[in-house]
Amino acid sequence: MTRLGMVMDLDRCIGCWACAIACAMENHVPQGLWWQQVLTVGGNERDTSGGEFPSLIKSYQPTNCAHCAEPPCIPACPTEAIYKRADGIVLIDYDACNGCRDCIPACPYDAFVFNAGEPLAPGVEPGDGAAEVMPRRPGVVEKCTFCVHRVDQGLAPACVAACPTGVIAFGDIADPESEVARKAARPGAVRDKPELGADPSLVYLPYTKGARQRRSGYAWS
Amino acid sequence: MAGPGTAVGGAEHVAYTACAANCGGRSRLACTVRGGRLVKVEAAPFPDERYTAACLRCLAFPQWVYSPERLQHPLRRVGPRGEDRFERVSWDEALGDIAAKLRELHDRHGGQSIAFTRTSGASAFGNFHRLSSLLQATNFVGGVDMAVHMGLNTALGYRGMYAQDANEWTDRPNAKVVLVWGNNPAETSMTSFRFLLDAQEAGTTIVVVDPRYSATAMHADWWVAPRPGTDTALTLGMLHVIAAEGLVDEEFARAHSTAPLLVRADTGRYLRQSDLTEGGSSAFMEWDPDSAAVRPLAESPRPALEGAFEVGGIPVETVYSLLRRHLQAYDPERVAEITGVSARDITDLARLYATAGPATIGYGYGVDRYVHAEMVTRAGAILALLTGNIGRPGAGVGVASHGGGAYEASLADPMPLPAWARGSAVPNIDVGALPLPVRALVNQGDWLNQRVAANDRLRGFMSELELVVTIDSFWQTSCRWSDYILPASTFLEANEPVRDVLVTRNSVLLREKVIDPLWESRPDADIERDLATRLGFGEYYTASAEEMAQAAVEGSSSPRMAGLTYERLRAAGGALRLDAPDAPHVQYDDLRFGTPSGRGELYVEDLVPLGQHFPIHVEEYEASLASADVQAFPLVFTQNHVRQRAHSSFFNSAWTLGIWPGPILELHPADAAARGVAAGDVVEVFNRRGRVVVHAVPNPDYPPGLCNITEGWKQQQFIEGNLQSLTNPTPSPAQELLWGQSNIPFYDTRVEVRKYPGPAAAAP
């Protein structure tokens, strides 16, 4: 059975947010909300490292709905607005959503955002982006759809197409012949918070370069 | 069911163009237009599919184009200059007034009384170069990011100020070692960075030289962090090791560099045949060991690489002997003290570069913005010439500019001007420092924010001008000093089906119209044409943009464009590959250099009076530890380029502002703590030249003693002050001597930082 998923190779991620901006444009996500974000793993502020110069450690981690095999959001929704397609994509029926937001804490991956009627970004109007993407009414939750409207046309999600360094592989991770499944099977591939049992379809190849890197410079030689 | 896949419909079309910003990336873009609105931007297929990519800057174009900062109507100043009070006027009134004033100044004081500045991002056919030439006006030229090119041009031969690129980006996997030097493509050239990642995955060793732990440095196999501005010393240390350990490719140096050329001990000039023979030629001379005599360049089968000789009573020595002696002062121990990079690391880096190649050096503008920066790349060229790391796949030295290094072809000048139509040039670094005959200034873009250092010193100059006009798409720093503000369309807007045409990355691309000009804005080319016509130059502006594009393509004399017609370009959707080989372009693959000797120049005789005939480490410059300002202004202040802007272009895209909300001062946590500064505090950054007030973020990616505000924020995005009021306007004597103008050393700047006692603005 098909199980669409993503493998993100963090050794290729440069933290540029092209994925997230392509997502926001494609899906006309309201300003200030993100269906996809690029987390800085390191320091407390965006783009800063942890540790002390020069023993720094920093990596970037794109994150979005993991379209889990066992999505904890589905049983958490009192109006049964969240459902999973046969290909594994987890979607929200916006008409059925009552805005209670019980899904937000139920999700281990911070995938859901609540649209309280946030304006779109300056320069973006309802209906911009992909024509197939439905504008959401205020008062519902929303999240990454794996760009289901593109998937149904045989296209990769907008973030995958936009990434300039080829971080994200997308496809059927249940098909052992697929590129995405081969990457997911690489040594070191991890899923976030596996102990929670959601079985996410978002797999990371962790950032490894920092630990292997030689460093030479004036503050420590 | 109202599911996420429900279509809302609507007629739409896709228009194709290419980015025009000065990152140089020139991504080819597919722009979705629905109901006349730009609603989506994506990468469009490039003829070479490896270049099909767009970065976040392009993706956010809808917000940039429709931004609230767009200038919508012509404006005229009311009240004193600098008070930001303007009234709306018609195009006819604005251009009529401007033309009348320009005509009056031209008649009374000559064309040189009118100065033009221009900017990237405008149409190639609307950059006001034609009008400034027809007026015989002054052009304010240059700025930053020239010194690295000057150094390479000096060493390897002039091929245009901005054409000294390393090999094409796609060549990186052919290298075994790549030195990414003062270059941060992961944050500036995102669509090119993948070629470094691909090379690394294929086994290439990536060395990143940068004082800061950049997003590029975090991907390096080896991160080398010298003190800011000590890159020439680091290079000379590597050269010392290479020469001392016998790692020089002597056959290559003998055949392709000036290493065996003889230099007169008495004058420091190259020995020429005319020095020895009455009526002799200007040929450079070498020592032929077999005949124990001098011979003109390239006539000896195996000229001496080393040695001192006496020829006709003149003591001479080979360049290579002089260089070896020069390098003795740059032993790794001394260079370690200058750079902070250990002697062992300098030695290892030299060995890696010289023996593990082919090796490529790709410079960025991080090394460019110090007063003696041209010597960095002169020294880098010597590295390449002494080790044979130039002119073959995987081996090259140059600037790793975003779109550069590919096969090039020139477009024709679609409407050549008469010979008398020629303006004059004044380097930007001299404006405000030298008396100028200028009485009117026509700014295209944000000159005050981007092209001048210590800009407070221009207040007098700006105040005394009789006319200041700014042409731009957005409200910005230069607008505030203007008498008239003219709203230009962005490069996505046009009145005609075509805007212009360009050659980039082995291809010819057409910029189609994407949307109509917004509000009352007009394309630059329309503004120039209208103003020129009012000034009586209408006969030089008769062709449409499409006719210009056709003439530019079909009039090209480049063999790589042979047979390429405009019709074919249109039929192909506006993108065609040049007639160029599939293999990545290799710079200098013929090993011919455009220098006086035709060789790669190790030694520059014109710089003997400055003591810089070989690159040297200059002890004292503002950012150095030897600076007299170290106590008063302990922090070196840089302004690196960032992901979300190309210089100041796209400063206002709402999505990127949602991620990076405004300017911040980043500094080492210990430097912040010593000043009582915590994350989010408002600080004043100041020196003798100026000040700016921003929020601070302690960031351990910066070494102690270095702080930074990223380049390209507009004055209105700061709490107070102006970023460019701080920067160093000191020209380089060597650059002025060799090139007639100097780069602006923006990074060669010291500041102090204190918590700002004044009223704190809202948090970012």
A75's tokens? 């049983």
Q: Determine whether the interchain pair A165/B197 forms a contact, defined as Cβ–Cβ distance below 8 Å.
A: yes
Interval B603-646: pLDDT, tens: 999 999 999 999 999 999 999 999 999 999 999 999 999 999 99
**pLDDT band at A125; cut points 50, 70, 90:** confident
B4: pLDDT strictly greater than 90: no
- B336 to chain A: closest CA residue: A218
B121's tokens? 């991002």
| A216 vs B contacts (CB less than 8 Å) | 222-225, 341-342, 345, 349
User: What size, in residues, is chain B?
Assistant: 764
Give residue B1's pLDDT.
35
Chain B residues 59-78 with a CB less than 8 Å from chain A: 59-60, 62-68
Higher pLDDT, A137 or B513: B513
- B70 to chain A: closest CA residue: A123
Interval B123-152: pLDDT, tens: 677 789 999 999 999 999 988 889 999 999
| A14 vs B contacts (CB less than 8 Å) | 186-187, 190, 193, 215-216, 219
- What is the reported pTM? 0.96
Give residue A152's pLDDT.
97
The distance of A175 to chain B (nearest Cα, Å) reads 25
Q: Determine whether the interchain pair A133/B4 forms a contact, defined as Cβ–Cβ distance below 8 Å.
A: yes
Dihedral angle of Cα B102, B106, B112, B115, to the nearest 10 degrees: 0
**pLDDT band at B764; cut points 50, 70, 90:** very low
- A12 to chain B: closest CA residue: B197
Give residue B2's pLDDT.
40
**pLDDT band at B762; cut points 50, 70, 90:** very low
**pLDDT band at B763; cut points 50, 70, 90:** very low
Radius of gyration of chain B (CA): 27
> In angstroms, rounded to a whole number, what is the distance separating the alpha carbons of residues A192 and A203?
8
B82: pLDDT strictly greater than 90: no
Q: At what angle do helices B231-244 and B332-339 cross, to 10 degrees?
A: 170
Q: Determine whether the interchain pair A131/B193 forms a contact, defined as Cβ–Cβ distance below 8 Å.
A: no
B39: pLDDT strictly greater than 70: yes
Identify which of B63, B219, B341 has the shortest CB distance to residue A216: B341
A87's tokens? 């290909």
B725's tokens? 């009021």
**Per-residue CA distances from B222 to B195, B201, B216, B338, B455 (Å):** 17, 15, 11, 20, 38
Give residue B163's pLDDT.
56
**HEC per residue, chain A:** CCCEEEEEEHHHCCCCCHHHHHHHHHCCCCCCCCCCEEEEECCCCCCCCEEECCEEECEEEEECCCCCCCCCHHHHCCCCCEEECCCCCEEECCCCCCCCCCHHHHCCCCCCEEECCCCCCCCCCCCCCCCCCCCCCCCEEECCCCCHHHHCCCCCCHHHHHCCCCCEEEEECCCCCCHHHHHHCCCCCEECCHHHCCCCCEEEECCCHHHHCEEEECCCC
A201: pLDDT strictly greater than 70: yes
Give residue B403's pLDDT.
74
For this complex, say whether ipTM is above 0.90. Answer: yes
**pLDDT band at B432; cut points 50, 70, 90:** confident
Mark A160-170 as b/e (b = at least 16 C-beta within 10 Å).
bbbbbbebbbb
Interval B283-312: pLDDT, tens: 999 999 999 999 999 999 999 999 999 999
**pLDDT band at A219; cut points 50, 70, 90:** low
Give residue A145's pLDDT.
98
- A132 to chain B: closest CA residue: B7
Q: Are B366 and B184 in contact (CB under 8 A)?
A: yes
Interval B449-503: pLDDT, tens: 888 999 999 988 999 999 999 999 999 989 999 999 999 999 999 999 999 999 9
Identify which of A16, A31, A218 has the shortest CB distance to residue B56: A16
Chain B residues 331-370 with a CB less than 8 Å from chain A: 336, 339-342, 345, 349
Radius of gyration of chain A (CA): 18
Dihedral angle of Cα B118, B121, B125, B128, to the nearest 10 degrees: -10
> What percentage of chain B exceeds 70 in pLDDT?
97
Give residue B10's pLDDT.
55
Dihedral angle of Cα B674, B675, B677, B681, to the nearest 10 degrees: -170
Q: Determine whether the interchain pair A149/B194 forms a contact, defined as Cβ–Cβ distance below 8 Å.
A: no
Chain B residues 617-676 with a CB less than 8 Å from chain A: 643, 654-656, 658-660, 668-669
pLDDT (average), residues B353-380: 96
Give residue A90's pLDDT.
98
Most A CBs within 10 Å, among B169, B218, B645, B665, to test the A interface: B218
Q: Determine whether the interchain pair B655/A21 forms a contact, defined as Cβ–Cβ distance below 8 Å.
A: yes
